[in-house]
Amino acid sequence: MMSPVRVEHPDEGLCLITIDRADARNALNDLAYAQLIAALDDAEADHGVRVIVVTGAHGHFTAGNDLADFQAMPADAQSVPGIRFLARLNRLEKPILAAVEGIAVGIGLTMLLHCDLVYAGRSARLRAPFVQLGLTPEGGSSLLLPLLLGHRRAAEILLCGDWLSAMRAEALDIVNETTEDGMALERALQRAAQLAALPPQALRATRQLMCRARQTTIDETIMSEERVFLDHARSAEARAAFSSFFQKR
C-alpha cells in the first residue's frame, strides 16, 4: 500500500509535505493524519528545516476527511484523528505555507487557517460543508473564520457551505496570492526559500510572537469543538447526510 503522505526536502531549509491519495482526491484517512502529525513532528525537530510547505498531489489539495472513517467511528470514540492533527498544526513553531490546486474541502480549508502563507491556483475552490453533512466546525475554524472575516462572511462559509473561488478566497484574506493553475507550489516554494534564507532564530521567534497570544484560545476552542463534533458525527442526522452524500456520488 502506498503511503498517503510524502515528505521531501526540495531545497536547503525546506520540508515539503504532500498529501497523496490519487484514488480519493487526497481525502484524509486515519493513516494520513498519523503520517501528517509524524511529518510535522520530524520537521519541527530537524534543525535543518526552517520552513514547511504542505500541498496535495494529482491536482487537488484535499477533498477533506474520508467520510468512510466517520461511518466506521466507534460509538464510544473520545477523539477524532483529524482534530488531533489540527491541534498539532496549531502548536507548530516553524513557518508553514500551503500550495492549493483543485479543491480544499472541510478540514482542507481549516488547515489553511493555520498556515502563515497560502497560495492557490486560479481554478482552486474551497468549501466547508460541515452543516450540510450534519457536522459542526473543527480545528478552531468556528473561532478563526469570524476573527478573520467577521461574522457575516464567516456565516457564508460555515452556515451556508458556499464554494469559494481562489480569487474570492484571496479577497477574504484566506489566500495570500492567486497564481496561474499549476503554479501554486512553485510560488509557495519560492517564498519558502526566501524565508529559509532569513536569520532562523529571528524568523522562528517572530512567528511564535505572532501566534502565541491566540494559541491557547484556539486549543480551548478545538477541544470544545471536538466534543460537539463527536456528538453530531454519531447522530442520526449525520448518518442520513452521509447516506445522501454517497448516493449522489
pTM of the model: 0.95
Position 211 in a domain = no
Q: Does 24 reside within a domain? A: yes
Pairwise CA distance, residues 91 & 214, whole Å: 10
Asked if 8 and 14 touch (Cβ cutoff 8 Å), the reply is no
Least confident stretch, 7-11, 97-101, 212-216: 212-216
CATH of the domain at 68: 3.90.226.10
What distance in Å separates the CA atoms of residue 86 and residue 245, rounded to the nearest whole number?
24
From residue 37, give the alpha-carbon distance in Å to each of 43, 75, 86, 94, 108: 10, 24, 9, 14, 15
90 within some domain: yes
Q: Work out the end-to-end distance of the chain between its first and last CA atoms, rounded to an integer number of angstroms.
A: 25
Q: Which of 238, 28, 243, 66 is nearest to 135 (CA)?
A: 238
* 68 inside domain: yes
How does pLDDT run across 208-223, given as a tens digit for each residue? 999 998 999 999 999 9
33 located within any domain = yes
Least confident residue range of 59-63, 73-77, 116-120, 163-167 = 73-77
Range of the domain at 54: 5-182
Domain assignment present for 157 = yes
> What is the pLDDT, as a whole number, of residue 80?
86
Please report whether residue 198 resides in a domain. no
Domains contained in the chain, number: 1
Is 111 inside a domain boundary? Answer: yes
Question: Is 139 in contact with 110 (CB distance < 8 Å)?
Answer: yes
